[in-house]
């Protein structure tokens, strides 16, 4: 049967492959496949290399961007803030080292004459080696940073040579205090070598860029505080012209800021008399600035006169205390809430028994008309004692805790001042005092939310001596001064003959920039303006000869953009 079937297949032309044919076909297939294997392997390798090269370039670019996002230079006195130079050009140590939480596995300065490897730039430079990149264990990096100077060449349109390499000063150390921490230039060249291996072959991707200081860093903290307990101004006669005369009581000026560096300043003055022609005379005074930090201290001074015999302005003993400033950990501060920077004037010492005397040259006609004896037009009531004629104090500070805060706060107060001491009112027709004045500016930041808290308050006493009376009474708010009789019984004198106006100023406070800025201000908590102390004609006061008395001049500002 098998033979008959085979015979039919032969007659029909249908038959299968012989064994030899199969063996030959398989052999040919093997030869073709074997020839394609190297090509396939090369393709896989090339794909892997290309993928790794792309990944290396991405890692290099990411590193450069992270470097650009760092501040170029932050003063070392700000504390352990990490900037570009802290990480990638720390000092001139030729011994490999690391620091806490270091991005570098090793770091070292390579001087001229030092040993460099292929791909690294001209010496000197600073090398940061990163043995393994976090999350990408197959890759490593070498970051070589140079300080660069100006380009050689000209501005004629011709190509210019690359910037010159700058060698830092031998004292350079990014962790030292100024000036040793100052960068050798405001431009660095960055050579970044990203390395990896496939099999036994080493690969390197080289990226070069330059990073420059982008100008002044943004100010993240700004604190300002100004307080003057009192200020009296007027004009003195001078050969037909007027000359400005002023007497300023205790004052405190505080400033603090943080940007690429931090600064803090404190100035305290016990008293200050000034005149366009007589010059300037200060009582106790001290000024400090940080950095470096200045230890809190103080001084005192005897009273003095701007001119002979208190003709225009003089003041008694004064002192300043707790005058200090610091920028510890980059946080500006001057004084504290428990020991504020303070300036004070007392009621005795030097050339006067009073805290101060202010006259500004009244004419005899005015003295006669208003029953004003010789002597001061404005002075303190208290005399010959160590009680405070006036005080100003304040402090600024910041914290970096959670929540972080910045604060500027001020206080002022005065004793009782006699305005126009007369024969019938030796303690003044009008008496004024600032019992207390305070402004405070605070900002608290929790997370990304800022809360500004500006506050201001003042209390004062304004009294006058009614006609024929022996006791002072309060001056009502908005009183018509021309209807208030003063002087001896039966006198035609009115309070308006002495006083032009009395103003109780309202504080202005504001919360700005989404709670990141607080401001508060008293232009003056209390202001008294007198009539002219000289006449332009009989019985007519000269408006240019008025005396202006201001109590409680205060302002503060606190800003936190951290």
- For the stretch 390-411, pLDDT in tens is 999 999 999 987 789 999 999 9
| Residue 486, both tokens | 């003063």
- For the stretch 238-267, pLDDT in tens is 755 568 899 999 999 999 998 767 889 999
For residue 431, the Cα-to-chain-centroid distance in whole angstroms is 40
Residue 79: what pLDDT? 61
- For the stretch 515-526, pLDDT in tens is 999 999 999 999
Give residues with Cβ within 8 angstroms of 102, minimum separation 6.
none
| Entry pTM | 0.69
What's the mean per-residue pLDDT of the chain? 89
Residues 60, 194 contacting (CB under 8 angstroms): yes
Which of 273-282, 417-426, 474-483, 541-550 is least confident?
A: 273-282
Question: Does residue 50 surpass a pLDDT of 80?
Answer: no
Give residues with Cβ within 8 angstroms of 187, minimum separation 6.
147, 148, 149, 163, 210, 211, 212, 213
Give residues with Cβ within 8 angstroms of 1, minimum separation 6.
none
Q: Residues of 44-83 as b/e, b for ≥16 C-beta within 10 angstroms?
A: eeeeeeeebeebbeebbeebbeebeebbbbbbbbbeebeb
User: First vs last Cα of the chain: how many Å apart?
Assistant: 102
Does the bond joining 401 to the residue before it have cis omega, within 30 degrees of 0?
no
Residue 81: what pLDDT? 66
Say how far apart CA 378 and CA 336 lie, in whole Å: 34
| Residue 552, both tokens | 């409680």
| Residue 557, both tokens | 């500002």
Which of 45-54, 248-257, 509-518 is least confident?
A: 45-54
For residue 192, the Cα-to-chain-centroid distance in whole angstroms is 36
Question: Does residue 556 surpass a pLDDT of 70?
Answer: yes
Say how far apart CA 211 and CA 218 lie, in whole Å: 18
């Amino acid at each position: 049967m098998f033979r008959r079937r085979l015979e039919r297949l032969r007659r029909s032309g249908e038959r299968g492959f012989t064994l030899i044919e199969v063996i030959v076909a398989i052999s040919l297939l093997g030869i073709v496949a074997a020839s394609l294997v190297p090509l396939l392997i090369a393709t896989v390798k090339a794909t892997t290399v290309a993928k790794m090269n792309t990944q290396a370039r991405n890692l290099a670019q990411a590193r450069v961007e992270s470097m650009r996002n760092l501040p170029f230079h932050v003063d070392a006195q700000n504390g352990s803030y990490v900037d570009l130079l802290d990480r990638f050009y720390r000092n001139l140590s030729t011994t490999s080292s690391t620091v806490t939480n270091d991005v570098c596995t090793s770091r070292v300065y390579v001087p001229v004459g030092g040993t460099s490897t292929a791909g690294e730039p001209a010496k000197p430079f600073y090398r940061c080696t990163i043995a393994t990149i976090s999350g990408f264990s197959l890759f490593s990096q070498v970051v070589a940073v140079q300080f660069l100077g100006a380009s050689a060449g000209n501005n004629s349109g011709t190509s210019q040579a690359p910037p010159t390499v700058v060698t830092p000063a031998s004292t350079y150390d990014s962790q030292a205090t100024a000036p040793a921490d100052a960068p050798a230039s405001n431009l660095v060249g960055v050579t970044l070598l990203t390395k990896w291996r496939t099999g036994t072959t080493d690969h390197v991707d080289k990226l070069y860029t330059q990073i420059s200081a982008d100008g002044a860093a943004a100010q993240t903290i700004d604190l300002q505080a100004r307080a003057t307990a009192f200020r009296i101004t007027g004009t003195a006669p001078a050969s037909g012209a007027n000359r400005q005369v002023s007497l300023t009581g205790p004052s405190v000026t505080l400033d603090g800021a943080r940007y690429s560096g931090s600064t803090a300043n404190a100035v305290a003055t016990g008293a200050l008399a000034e005149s366009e022609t007589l010059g300037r005379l200060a009582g106790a005074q001290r000024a400090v600035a940080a950095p470096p930090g200045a230890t809190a201290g103080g001084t005192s001074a005897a009273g003095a006169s701007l001119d002979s015999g208190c003709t225009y302005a003089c003041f008694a003993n004064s002192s300043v205390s707790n005058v200090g400033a610091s920028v510890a950990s980059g946080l500006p501060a001057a004084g504290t809430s428990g020991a504020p920077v303070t300036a004070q004037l007392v009621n005795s010492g030097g050339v006067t028994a009073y805290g101060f005397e202010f006259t500004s040259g009244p004419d005899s006609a005015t003295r006669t008309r208003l029953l004003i004896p010789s002597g001061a037009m404005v002075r303190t009531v208290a005399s010959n004692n160590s009680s405070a004629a006036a005080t100003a104090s304040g402090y600024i500070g910041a914290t970096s805790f959670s929540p972080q805060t910045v604060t500027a706060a001020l206080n002022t107060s005065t004793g009782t001042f006699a305005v126009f001491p007369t024969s019938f009112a030796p303690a003044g027709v009008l008496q004024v005092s600032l019992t207390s004045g305070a402004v405070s500016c605070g900002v608290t930041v929790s997370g990304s939310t800022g809360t500004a808290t500006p506050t201001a308050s003042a209390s004062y006493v304004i009294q006058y001596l009614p006609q024929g009376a022996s006791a002072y009474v309060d001056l009502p708010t908005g009183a018509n001064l021309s209807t208030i009789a003063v002087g001896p019984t039966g006198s035609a004198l009115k309070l308006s003959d002495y006083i032009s106006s009395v103003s109780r100023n309202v504080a202005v406070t504001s919360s700005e920039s989404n709670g990141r800025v607080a401001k508060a201000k008293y232009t003056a908590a209390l202001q008294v303006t007198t009539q002219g102390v000289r006449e332009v004609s009989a019985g007519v006061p000269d408006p240019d000869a008025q005396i202006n008395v201001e109590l409680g001049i205060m302002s503060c500002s606190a800003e936190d953009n951290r």
